[in-house]
Structure 1
Amino acid sequence: MDDRSCNNATTSGAHWSNATDNSSLDYACLHYSYWGDPLAAIEIAAMVLVIVCNTAGLASLYRTTAISGSFKPYIANLLLANLAMAILENPLDILFELSCDRWTLSWAACDFFLYCNYVFAGWEMHAHLLITVNRLWAMIFPYNYRHRHTMTTSFVLTTGAFIYVHAWILPGLVRDSLFFRIMGRECEVNGDAQRPWQLMVQTFLFLAPIAFVAGSYVCLVVRQRMRLKTRPDAPEIELQSRPTDNGTSGEAPAALKKTRRQNSRAFFILTLLTCSLVVTWTPYQVCQLLQIGGVTVNDDVVGALDVLWIIQSILDPLLSTSIVSDVRTVFVQRH
């Protein structure tokens, strides 16, 4: 038997030597803790919605023609990250809270839980980062983007980001599992033993992408406004109307109108993704940074921010109007 199992140590969370304390703790947990917390029902409902929305989004993604083929892997990468978090990590997190914050599974399961907690969160974060980088590339260097960006480029970038997240996370988790883990009632990284690693991961892997996404969006907005101010009038007039044989004003070429609609849609989606990400993820990550620094944060506040984080995973597949339309079609056809 694994000597780290919760079932064989009197100091573990699975068994308590004092029967009276155990009974009191179970009573308090049943009546006043997670079961009686409104955030519990919200968190469980949000997890179910994440699974439903992202599964429907993936099902509809490959049926829509409104999104270019080379851009689809970025959205699929984001939806898969959301699904992985909801299916593999969130149930273990809820089970931990239902057990009054006592880890009742094996410590091998704890290793898996911590892996999911860190890696999948980083995966989600960098999936959004890649979408921003893609839009930044397309809007600032459109000619290079059209000729260099392919489906292969998308797969290389998404795979590289996934490996990059592992390069940050795995060394710390392996060291914690082998040398620093405290065999107690909770399943968490020993922050005191690896404080520098935790600070670097929190800063560069989680907070830096949010800052980059927000900063990139501001740069795109400024650049677009400057381009509109400096654009000559003649080309704009030419796009808006064209003379025909009978002298009446005609519509702009279909290709130009389609390109303009696609650019407008892409910028609108990017706006929604950026605003929602900053609003839902920044408070939670700042809270995590404060906790790493030794600041005590109320458990209810942490729970509320955790739910706010999950909400972003529901918004991701719904922000694109084309995906929303296709999701609706999928549901109608299935029912």
Structure 2
Amino acid sequence: MAGSMNISVASNMTNQTFFVPSPVNPVRALAHFTICWIEAVALALSAAIPLTAFIKVPLLRTGFNYFLISFLLTNLMYALYLPIFAWDVYFDGWLISTGLCAFYTSLAPLAGILTGWIQLLITGNRLWALYFPHHYRSHHSKRSSLISCLVIWMLALLVVVLFGAVLYKLLQIYPYSGRCFGKADILLETPTKLLFLLLDIAPLVILSAYPWLLRKYLAMRRQHANLVEKNRTATSNVNTNSSAAQAVVNCLGPTATAETTALAAKPLVVQKSSTKFLVLTWVVVCITLFWSPVLLYGVIQSVTGMKVESDISSSAFIVNWMLLCQCTEPWIFVLTVPLLRQTVKQLFRRT
């Protein structure tokens, strides 16, 4: 089995060679290198500042916000990856040992898979809350969110660690000099395609599900607005000590359901739900702006048969563009979640 794999890899390597770039314009190389370092610093700050807020304020560590914390941790991975990526690609020199090339090559897919599937968890959370509100209120908790995040991390680590281990073995058998970027695409062509397919599934599912979720969310908002209006009309006919929920029951009689009563009696719950759905909306906006070009580029690669290593500049530009999403989303979370926004403001004032 191992012998057949070695023969297959050797055959694959005899038919393909790494792209050897022509001398890079020093100004262009320095510009790309600088962009990567700026993005790395931006990613580190966009993760460190909100994470500090989550550490300092226990009230921020809600079940839903565990998804945001997991997302911020992936930014730290990208912040570690980008400086090495910049040097490896643009200056054609691998800084570390050949064995660590496997770790570096696996770090970006790991962060990418985690990012996409954490965003999918946010989408699933809103689907659960909108379509199964009673079940959501009784079963959603910090524990359920933490378990779902841990499952995603463990699955992603399992897949990527296996990929990295196989790549490490092949790099020992077939060592290469020069840049590390693109080696996995040759040594493990099919597994690499499958790995990056995992990155594409989550954004596509989110974009497909969002219109249905938006329609349901707007319908529930209209329902709540109608209940509030009926509640205002009914308050003149009920005891001043009656609750808002009882007013709706008196107004609607036996037709008032537990769900509509709960919606009228708990405006704070509706406000929190609006904040969470706004987070999902911004996730969809970022996917549309920053991930769609990556998906289109992947389709073009598949159709034309273009290899990653055959167009280093375009591949690097796509990576830089995609990571603008990672730089933007944490600050969107800060602006969207009221308590997080207040905490970050206080942190800036203290500094």
In structure 2, relative to structure 1, the CA distance for the partners of 1:78 and 1:243 (3 Å cut) is same
Matches within 5 A, 1:266-281: 266-281=276-291
Identify which of 295, 300, 306 aligns with 1:295: 306
Q: Matched residues in 1 for 2:277 and 2:156: separation?
A: 27
Cα distance change, pair 227–169 in 1 and its aligned pair in 2 (3 A):
same
Q: Does 1:306 align with 2:301?
A: no
Q: TM-score, normalised by structure 1?
A: 0.78
The residue correspondences of 1:82-161 to structure 2 (distance < 5 A) are 82-86=75-79, 88-98=80-90, 100-161=91-152
**Shift of the alpha carbon at 1:274?**
1.4
Residue 32 and residue 233 in structure 1: after superposition, are their counterparts in 2 closer, same or farther (change >3 A)? closer
| Residue 29 (structure 2) aligned to one of 31, 34, 50 | 34
Of the candidates 210, 214, 225, which is equivalent to residue 207 of structure 2?
A: 214
Moved more, 256-265 or 139-148: 256-265
Aligned partner of 2:270 in structure 1 is 260
Question: Which digits, 9 at most, give the CA deviation of each residue in 1:82-135, with x for residues without a partner?
Answer: 11221x21221122135x222232112212211212212212222212121112
Deviation at 1:158, TM superposition (A): 0.7
Match in the other structure for 1:324: 341
Q: Which residue of 1 aligns with 2:192?
A: 198
Q: Quickly say closer, same or farther: Cα 1:30–1:226, change in 2 above 3 A.
A: closer
* CA–CA separation in structure 1 for the residues paired with 2:221 and 2:115: 34
Distance in 2 (CA, whole Å) between partners of 1:273 and 1:68 is 20
Return closer, same or farther for 1:136/1:232 CA change in 2, 3 Å cut-off: closer
Name the SS for the 1:186 alignment partner: coil
> C-alpha root-mean-square deviation of aligned residues, in Å?
3.2
Question: Shift of residue 167 of structure 1?
Answer: 3.2
CA distance in 2 between partners of 1:300 and 1:241 (Å): 65
Matching residue's letter, 1:238 = K
Cα distance in 2 between the residues matched to 1:232 and 1:277: 30
Looking at structure 1, the residues matched to 189 and 159 of structure 2 have their Cα atoms a distance apart, in angstroms, of 14
Q: Which residue of 2 aligns with 1:21?
A: none
2:328 equivalent to 1:315:
yes
Q: Which amino acid aligns with 1:328?
A: K
Contact 1:50 1:313 in 2 (8 A): yes
AA matched with 2:210: Y
How many equivalent pairs are there? 301
Task: Output the CA distance in 1 between the equivalents of 2:205 and 2:77.
Answer: 24
Task: Give the equivalent residue in structure 2 for 1:7.
Answer: none
* Partner SS state of residue 183, structure 2: coil
Q: For residues 258 and 225 of structure 1, do their structure 2 counterparts lie closer, same or farther at Cα, with a shift above 3 Å needed?
A: closer
Q: Please state whether the residue corresponding to 1:183 is helix, strand or coil.
A: coil
- Taking the TM superposition and a 5 Å limit, the aligned residue runs for 1:26-65 are 28-29=23-24, 31-35=26-30, 37=31, 39-62=32-55
Distance in 2 between the 1:240 and 1:260 partners?
17
Rounded to whole Å, the distance in 1 between the matches of 2:282 and 2:112 is 20
Percent identity (aligned): 17
**What residue ranges of structure 1 are gaps of 5+ in the alignment?**
1-24
Determine if contact 1:284/1:302 at 8 Å carries over to the other structure. Answer: no
> CA shift at 1:53, angstroms?
1.8
- CA distance in 2 between partners of 1:80 and 1:152 (Å): 19
Distance 2:26 2:224 in 1: 69
Alpha carbons 2:109, 2:196 under 8 Å: kept: no
Question: In 1, distance between residues paired with 2:225 and 2:278?
Answer: 24
Whole-Å separation in 2 of the counterparts to 1:240 and 1:272: 33
Structure 2 unaligned residues grouped into runs of 5+ = 1-21, 246-263
* Higher RCO structure (Cα 8 Å, ≥6 apart): 1
